[in-house]
Amino acid sequence: MFGSNIELPNRMLSYNTALLKYHSTKPIRGRSDQNTRPLARRSNENLTIRMEPTTNDVIVQLYSTDIIRYTYQADGDNDLSPIVLAPYPSALTNRVMWSVLGPRVNTHWSDKGCVTEVGGRYYSTPSFAVVQPAETGWTLVDGSKPIEVPYFNRKEGRQALKDANYYTFKLWLETRIRLNLCPLSTRWPSSSLSWTPSEAVKYLRQGETGWAEIASHMSTYAPLETVLRSLREAVYKYETCYDINTYEYFEDHTQMRNALNQIMRVG
């Protein structure tokens, strides 16, 4: 990466601004490629700006990825021409995007999903995003996909736990713990919660034989409620106790983060 001395570029909020930056930046002397020019620190060749000769588009490149493309419109107002963003899930990409386009556009591209914030709304943009400046504020004009967020169906969940003998197992386990009949291992929590949904349901339905197997996975490092919650969530996943809410966009950052976390947790 750039290291601690990263120099971020200035704002370029339109094609015309990007074009001015391109023409005002001298290419590196002695290089065969005189079209590609440094965007920030001249000694840094990892962040560059260039003009596409066939389209006249101006492109910002981070390492080997074209992350921003300012499209040229021969018959239009290039102060308002669309800007194409190519999602690459890294914190550095988000920092460069913010430096160039913020606060009009803010990217939240990570391994949890590629989300682009435009005009205070958060859109799922898994492949690309096309944003456009306007006189009254910026808009997302292409690239968004509806995002499906699973949410827990409590009625189905309670029935699934009942069918899997979870409540009977819970009473059995708590009784054995009170009577000191359930010695706990000293393994770390990751080993005590290692069952798959199908394994958890199988153990719960086997009666005391399966319950003893679950108890043998318990650890002094994992609180009882942590173990019970992992079993409940395994049953919910196995029985698919989730409905789907579909969103075109999220209204705020908290709603977006909660939705992505829910998707990651449920799978």
Q: What does the alpha-carbon distance between residue 232 and residue 160 come to, in Å, rounded to a whole number?
A: 9
User: What pLDDT does residue 187 have?
Assistant: 62
pLDDT tens readout for residues 203-261: 999 999 999 988 887 777 777 888 899 899 999 999 999 999 999 999 999 999 999 99
Strand, helix or coil for residue 244? strand
User: What pLDDT does residue 188 have?
Assistant: 57
Q: What's the pTM?
A: 0.80
User: What pLDDT does residue 32 have?
Assistant: 76
User: What pLDDT does residue 2 have?
Assistant: 45
**DSSP string of 37-104, one letter each residue:** EESS-TT--SEEEEE-TTT--EEEEETTEEEEEE---TTS-TTS--EEE-----HHHHHHHHHHHTTT
User: What pLDDT does residue 40 have?
Assistant: 84
| Ranges under pLDDT 70 in the chain | 1-6, 184-193
User: What pLDDT does residue 4 have?
Assistant: 43
Strand, helix or coil for residue 178? helix
DSSP at 9: P
Reported as half-sphere exposure (CB side, CA atoms, 13 A), residue 24 has a value of 8
Range list of β-strands (E), 80-213: 83-85, 105-110, 113-118, 121-124, 129-132, 139-142, 147-152
Percent composition of the chain: helix, strand, coil (DSSP 3-state, to 5): 35, 20, 40
In the chain, domain spans: 15-145, 154-239
User: What pLDDT does residue 47 have?
Assistant: 92
